[in-house]
A and B are shown apart, each in its own frame.
Chain A
Amino acid sequence: MNEHIVDLLPFYLNQTLASEEQEAVREHLAACLECCSALVEWEALSNELNQVIASRTGGQLPQLSPVLRSSLRPRPPAGQMIHSAANLIWAQRVFLRHNLWFPVVFVVMVFSTTASLVFQTYNSNWLAIPMLILVPILAALAVAFLHYLDFDPALEVVVTTPTSPVSLIFARLTLALWVINLLAALGSLLVSILTRQPLSWLIGVWLGPMLMLSALSTVLSLIWNPWIAASSTLTSWAALIILLVSEQAGTQQIQVSLMGLLHPDLLIFGFMLVLAGLLWLLSWVWLSREANLPQW
């Protein structure tokens, strides 16, 4: 009995061997009684097995379901996909209008711009502090409640829409961050014109922390809940700002200098940007897992 041939017998029987192997087995079988006997055993097993499996049949093959058919759409061209994404993002404006979200953001931005101008009259170094304090925390708080059921003005539409909750949440996130960015940038532009300070510095001060803090807020709100996200980002940011102001006033509380926040270079900005990107990637992965979809 040839062990190699014995291993091939099941596949000789189902005729999936290469033609030269099939022929080699055939030739061997003609001369080996033991292998012939083994083949008979395999054949008996195969027949019995097929009878057992055939007993599972019964009933007609079901039609492809309507739900499945509705999903059978060819992938649209890139231009159409961008257009759809823009529409989806714009459609989220109803959420931003709700609960005075937009007016609150607007007032805070006006306030921080005015505060910057007032601060500038005392110390030009303090010029960027109001924006640094308010813009990131405003973004973090707004982002924390993006998917909170109680605050959703379009709940009935949301739960019945064919768009995935992941796309909806990130569409809202995009729109909210764009609105805050736009208002903060306009405020910074105004301050820059009135004080003749460089616009890149005024924007760079709040942009990195805003992205980082709102990304952290997204993750926390998804993994725990909006309240934990809001309170923890608010607390940690307030603590950081207190330490920064202390350092600016000449009483440094910790070993590490936080002045980099007030005068960010490309390295610091890049670090915050990468960290924010990673946190949002984590959020996307977390959301995409079906079991983790929050409150929808």
Chain B
Amino acid sequence: MTRRSQQLTHSPEDPDLALILAMAKGQVSSLETLYARYGPGLLIYLKGRLEDSDLAEEVLQDVMLAAWKGAPRFRGECRVRTWLMAITRNRAINAHQRKRQPASLPIDWAPPAILSHASHSERLDQVVDLQMALSNLPDETRETLELVFYHGLSAKEVAYIQKIAPGTVKSRLHRAMNYLRKLMTPEYPNDE
């Protein structure tokens, strides 16, 4: 499903909509309000995605400029917050590419060989906590988890931001949970 064809639940009472309308008319204070409201969350997302605080702050400025310029064209097909997050993600991807870092893993990923091929007894010897397990997840999957649990977005909103189908969001979550279960509980039955 393409991004454009997705019908997101748009709530007319979106409190941020008035800010966007005011921004479209050139009211700078509305941008400042939007920045104060969502800047911290977006910065946290960018820091996680880019692993570079300075670059994250720079990209955040770029995101706010894009929001300012894009405000007159905002069509209200999603919440303002989701729209901002989609802009942020696009800018983060561009910044990531400029840094020429390795691309993130594909959607159809497999657990790292050292973990997936390890026997149960070998796994027992590995001290793996959840934080470390999370760091082993592919970027896209970790991003899905973050968007759902930290930013509190719905399946359709996450799908809109990540440009995937809502079903893929759910399957990513499902696979992430299975993967984490395997890492955290050695006795958990192996699929293979």
Chain B associates with chain A: yes
The answer to whether A15 touches B152 (Cβ under 8 A) is: yes
**Contacts A45-B177, A57-B40; is A14 near B148 (CB within 8 Å)?**
yes
Q: Is B186 an interface residue (CB 8 A)?
A: no
Within 8 Å by CB of B146, from A41, A53, A64, lies A53
B interface: dominant SS: helix
The answer to whether A11 touches B44 (Cβ under 8 A) is: no
Residues from chain B with a CB closer than 8 A to the CB of A16 are 152-155, 157
Residues from chain B with a CB closer than 8 A to the CB of A59 are 53
**Contacts A48-B130, A53-B48; is A62 near B146 (CB within 8 Å)?**
no
- The interface-forming segment of A68-76, A154-162, A171-179, A251-259 is A68-76
What's the minimum C-beta distance from B50 to chain A, rounded to whole angstroms? 11
Q: Is B90 an interface residue (CB 8 A)?
A: no
Q: Is A78 an interface residue (CB 8 A)?
A: no
- Closest A residue, CB atoms, query B151: A14
Q: Is A249 an interface residue (CB 8 A)?
A: no
**Contacts A42-B177, A61-B36, A61-B40; is A68 near B149 (CB within 8 Å)?**
no
Docked complex: B153-192 residues within 8 A CB-CB of A = 153-155, 157, 170, 173-174, 177, 180-181
What's the minimum C-beta distance from A205 to chain B, rounded to whole angstroms? 45
The answer to whether A74 touches B26 (Cβ under 8 A) is: yes
- Closest B residue, CB atoms, query A72: B28
Residues from chain B with a CB closer than 8 A to the CB of A42 are 177
Report the bound CA distance from A10 to B93 in whole Å: 26
Within 8 Å by CB of A56, from B28, B48, B170, B180, lies B48
The answer to whether A45 touches B44 (Cβ under 8 A) is: no
Residues from chain A with a CB closer than 8 A to the CB of B53 are 59
Residues from chain B with a CB closer than 8 A to the CB of A10 are 148-149, 173
The answer to whether B134 touches A52 (Cβ under 8 A) is: yes
- Closest B residue, CB atoms, query A56: B47
Query: For chains A and B in complex, what number of residue pairs have CB atoms within 8 angstroms?
Result: 86
Report the bound CA distance from A233 to B180 in whole Å: 64
The answer to whether B131 touches A48 (Cβ under 8 A) is: yes
Residues from chain B with a CB closer than 8 A to the CB of A32 are none
The answer to whether B149 touches A14 (Cβ under 8 A) is: yes
A interface: dominant SS: helix
- Max chain A Cβ within 10 angstroms of own Cβ: one of B26, B47, B130: B130
**Contacts A49-B145, A52-B134; is A11 near B154 (CB within 8 Å)?**
yes
Report the bound CA distance from A74 to B22 in whole Å: 11
Q: A4-48, CB under 8 A of B: which get 1 and which 0?
A: 001100110111111000000000000000000000011011101
Task: Report the contact-size class of chain A (Cβ under 8 Å from the partner).
Answer: 35 or more
The answer to whether B65 touches A68 (Cβ under 8 A) is: yes
- Max chain B Cβ within 10 angstroms of own Cβ: one of A10, A61, A75: A10
Q: Is A65 an interface residue (CB 8 A)?
A: yes
**Contacts A16-B157, A71-B65, A72-B28; is A41 near B145 (CB within 8 Å)?**
no
The answer to whether B134 touches A49 (Cβ under 8 A) is: yes
Report the bound CA distance from A1 to B79 in whole Å: 33
The answer to whether B64 touches A64 (Cβ under 8 A) is: yes
The answer to whether B61 touches A68 (Cβ under 8 A) is: yes
- Closest B residue, CB atoms, query A7: B170
6 more CB-based (< 8 A) A-B contacts, given A41-B177, A56-B44, A62-B61: A18-B9, A45-B130, A50-B150, A59-B53, A72-B68, A75-B26
Query: Measuring CB to CB, which residues of chain B are less than 8 angstroms from any residue of chain A?
Result: 9, 25-26, 28, 31-32, 35-36, 39-40, 43-44, 47-48, 53, 57, 60-61, 64-65, 68, 72, 130-131, 134, 145-146, 148-150, 152-155, 157, 170, 173-174, 177, 180-181
Could you jot down 18 A-B contacts, CB within 8 Å?
A: A6-B174, A18-B9, A45-B177, A48-B131, A49-B145, A50-B150, A53-B48, A53-B146, A59-B53, A61-B36, A61-B43, A64-B35, A64-B64, A68-B61, A68-B64, A71-B68, A74-B25, A75-B72
